[in-house]
Chains A and B, each alone.
Chain A
């Protein structure tokens, strides 16, 4: 069915075949081939009949070589030249050929691209594809152009056509040509996207040490010069985090069973978890270590510039989860310079009550914080909810 159709579309195939004669041994190449052949002939003949010294002495006079006569050579060159002038490269293929090609692509057929030789033809084909709004057609034409145009021209022509750029990028992404994609994105000034593409590949790696290596490589190559205030620092931070997690994980897995380690954790793996989850873990397992100890929560706090809000929220959640009520009290109470006891007001007290209530904290403790809630309505609501 489809072959029939395409035959109709390409009724002028004879003309196309004509075109193809080009690559037959009628072109300039023929002369080169002849030269090589003749040299070969010369060798064969000389080895058998002439002494080596003789070859050196008279290499210019191979009587056994069959050379083309000057007249014949001129004739052939002229023929070639004529063909070139007849088939001018700059003549655009008629627009209905382009139209037919695009229609065939939209209908899911495989038209013959090779008839579009000139750059102008290729570009009008691309324009026609873009105007067709059919993504697959655009990609098909781009694949053809990429194959048959030199990279510089191809890229320059894509650049002035944003739709083509988008489709080319997506094509590279889908076919996993990361290197080409990175180069192309960098060339068109979308270096942030190029960096993210490589970042996504780097973090796919399962093995943590290799992942760190990939990340560092990625940072040095793509993010360092990006001067972005979000991406670059975040990646440095991720590397720091992983470098903290590795030794802690190695040490802990020796002294604790997985069931013990992850009993109250929201995740099943410590390696690769987020900063807050790591902090949570560290408060659950290492809060009794001295602040200078590598695994202590203090290290994370310093490494990642953890705000008080983040720290106190996470600490109270972690301590409540493990029912360490006295430690919660210690967390919020502190002594001022003058020695009077005070309660930190970093988290709203109604939220503290909620955290405690959800973990069924002892009633006296709940009362302490419930008393501190200012809003009377809220206080009543919390009392009803948690102090039954």
Chain B
């Protein structure tokens, strides 16, 4: 994504390896390791160097840590006796452009580090990257942060001078949001084309690996497809609902066929021009079109296999808190049948989020079934989700901390029963009401509201925040956003604006953003007519997110 191999070859790089545990190809004398600054990668490097440093005393090693070396890495290098054999470099990678409006640090571990392990090392990486970006783009005029990490990133940047280049700000507003604020958008199934592509084929650094069977069928030479706006067809359909996208594809296919001029009607000169200029383009778009159509077909097939319609209804019911008993039963069935554990976990988390925890009895029943179906090692998964407050039983805390369980249990249970008897609104219900997150289903294909990215089930919170920043008054903004998080940071550096025809809004999502949310934001930028820059620590989807949290 950053540099291609031929460039590196010019500079004398002979081979590139992926960092993996195990013995290495020992031919190379001089080696550069490029590694994330975590303990696991450092350990692998230490092992490799230690394994061969006696046999190859002449070998030279460099380690480039992204974005900088941490104390833990430093300590490990020292402990393993590798210091003295290596030269340490720092590679302060900043945002990588995945598209013209989408920039990502592509560091997947940041979410777990910040929210699960509560290690704030990444905060400084983020703030450094923002400053780096601002030194190129010019500063921002206003800042709004929702969530604790954004608050910390803001404070840390403030020390080092976030207001850098404020004299001529290029960005009107930087909106920073914690992933913690909206886990719903992460767990719901996305229905926009790019989101579905990501969930079905996994987009890695804007690239999709095309399954070999399609590649063979379509005669595509490229095994990897670059999903970027450089492909006009892709740009046209990526943010649409799948049904609209596939309809559009059909329409474009028909148009392309019609526009092919009849060779009999052309003069020789016209024909020559056509072949020279247009034919190549037409062929390329035809190829792209074919590819997208077959990708769509695979997505449809996969969805049918998993009874996607049922899943969407289930999601809607869970989000609305409707038919609770039926939801639990369907979930049980899904788990007993050993359907994908990721789907089961996504729904379990949604159920827990939507009800502020799963009722005591149901929680234990569901967890027992889950462990039975997918293996007991998932105790670790459950523990992780517990700590993120994504999956827990009602009255969880008090049960754990009380030493005298038998008695307090009874009291707590009766308490919980009494609580659930009261018509208390859960946190989600409150948010939904305040921010109108589940709009009434309107007529099909009416894309007036952003919930289309989740099949009408939910509007991404990031969309609503951006909307209120645009619409609301600056003074009341803080209060307006307060239900979302305890940490709301607002700061105005300068009254000046960019002065351009369109305002420029940058949205930073700490802990990852989904393609569904990206589509929703693009939709908003078209409606409200502003230039959008999306910044994030990594691209994520529910499956990727949960896989990281799952037991090996």
Seen from chain A, the residues whose Cβ lies within 8 Å of a Cβ on chain B are 106, 108, 132-136, 138-140, 143, 163, 166-167, 169-171, 173-176, 189, 192-193, 196, 199-200, 203, 227-231, 234-235, 237-238, 241, 266, 272-277, 304, 306, 309-310, 313-314, 317, 351
Contacts and interface: CB of A to CB of B under 8 A. Distances in A.
A174 B39 contact: yes
Nearest to B160: A106
A222 to B, nearest CB: 12
A133 B123 contact: yes
A266 B376 contact: no
A356 to B, nearest CB: 14
Interface string B145-160: 0000000110110010
User: Which one of A133, A170, A189, A277 has the greatest number of beta carbons of chain B within 10 Å?
Assistant: A133
Contacts of A241: 376
7 shortest interchain CB distances as A-B pairs = A135-B121, A135-B120, A166-B118, A238-B376, A274-B375, A174-B39, A275-B372
B68 A134 contact: no
A336 B338 CA distance: 31
29 contacts: A132-B156, A132-B159, A135-B119, A135-B121, A136-B71, A166-B118, A167-B119, A170-B113, A170-B119, A171-B72, A175-B39, A175-B72, A176-B39, A196-B380, A200-B380, A228-B400, A234-B368, A234-B371, A237-B371, A241-B376, A266-B338, A274-B372, A274-B373, A274-B374, A275-B371, A276-B338, A276-B373, A306-B372, A309-B332
A203 B38 contact: no
A377 to B, nearest CB: 14
B121 A237 contact: no
B336 A230 contact: no
- Dominant secondary structure of chain A at its interface with chain B: helix
A276 B372 contact: yes
User: Which one of A143, A235, A313 has the greatest number of beta carbons of chain B within 10 Å?
Assistant: A313
A140 B71 contact: yes
Nearest to B337: A313
Interface residues of B, number: 48
B117 A166 contact: yes
A323 B371 CA distance: 28
B218 interface: no
A267 to B, nearest CB: 10
User: Which one of B38, B69, B368, B372 has the greatest number of beta carbons of chain A within 10 Å?
Assistant: B372
Contacts of A273: 375
B529 interface: no
Given A274-B373, A306-B372, A310-B369, 17 more contacts: A106-B124, A133-B156, A140-B71, A166-B117, A167-B118, A170-B113, A170-B119, A171-B72, A173-B117, A200-B551, A230-B367, A230-B382, A237-B376, A274-B371, A275-B372, A313-B336, A313-B337
A134 B121 contact: yes
A295 B177 CA distance: 54
B373 to A, nearest CB: 5
Contacts of B379: 196, 199, 230-231, 234-235
B385 to A, nearest CB: 12
A166 B152 CA distance: 16
Nearest to A348: B333
B75 interface: yes
A320 B377 CA distance: 28
Contacts of B159: 132
Given A108-B69, A135-B121, A203 B377 contact: yes
A174 B42 CA distance: 11
Nearest to A173: B117
A133 B372 contact: no
A234 B374 CA distance: 13
B8 to A, nearest CB: 27
B123 A135 contact: yes
Contacts of B119: 135, 139, 166-167, 170
A196 B75 contact: no
B405 A227 contact: yes
Contacts of B121: 134-136, 139
Contact of B376 (A196, A234, A306, A351): A234
B197 interface: no
B521 to A, nearest CB: 27
A134 B124 contact: yes
A139 B70 contact: yes
Interface in B65-109: 68-72, 75-76, 90
A317 B405 contact: no
Nearest to A242: B376
Contacts of B117: 166, 169-170, 173
B69 A277 contact: no
Contacts of B551: 200
User: Which one of A166, A174, A176, A277 has the greatest number of beta carbons of chain B within 10 Å?
Assistant: A174
Contacts of A171: 72
Nearest to A192: B400
Contacts of A237: 371, 376
A276 B71 contact: no
B424 to A, nearest CB: 24
B76 A175 contact: yes
A133 B152 contact: yes
B401 interface: yes
B250 interface: no
Contacts of B374: 274
B162 to A, nearest CB: 13
A136 B70 contact: yes
B443 to A, nearest CB: 23
A383 B534 CA distance: 49
Contacts of B153: 133
Given A275-B372, A310-B372, A135 B338 contact: no
Nearest to B120: A135
B375 A170 contact: no
User: Which one of B38, B71, B153, B551 has the greatest number of beta carbons of chain A within 10 Å?
Assistant: B71
B124 A310 contact: no
A189 B337 contact: no
B117 to A, nearest CB: 5
A277 B336 CA distance: 10
B224 interface: no
A133 B487 CA distance: 15
A230 B383 CA distance: 10
B257 interface: no
User: Which one of B123, B337, B405 has the greatest number of beta carbons of chain A within 10 Å?
Assistant: B337
Contacts of B72: 139, 171, 174-175
A170 B71 CA distance: 12
A356 B158 CA distance: 64
A341 B3 CA distance: 72
User: Which one of B39, B120, B380, B400 has the greatest number of beta carbons of chain A within 10 Å?
Assistant: B120
Nearest to A171: B72
Nearest to A351: B333
B122 interface: yes
Contacts of A277: 338, 375
B280 interface: no
Nearest to B367: A230
A298 to B, nearest CB: 16
A196 B376 CA distance: 12
Contact of B337 (A199, A304, A306, A317): A317
B38 A174 contact: yes
A128 to B, nearest CB: 12
B502 interface: no
Nearest to A274: B375
B155 A276 contact: no
B409 to A, nearest CB: 9
Contacts of B333: 309, 313, 351
Interface string B106-147: 000000010001111111100000000000000000000000
A171 B75 CA distance: 11
B364 interface: yes
A173 B112 CA distance: 14
A112 B87 CA distance: 22
A325 B261 CA distance: 60
A96 B438 CA distance: 53
B120 A133 contact: yes
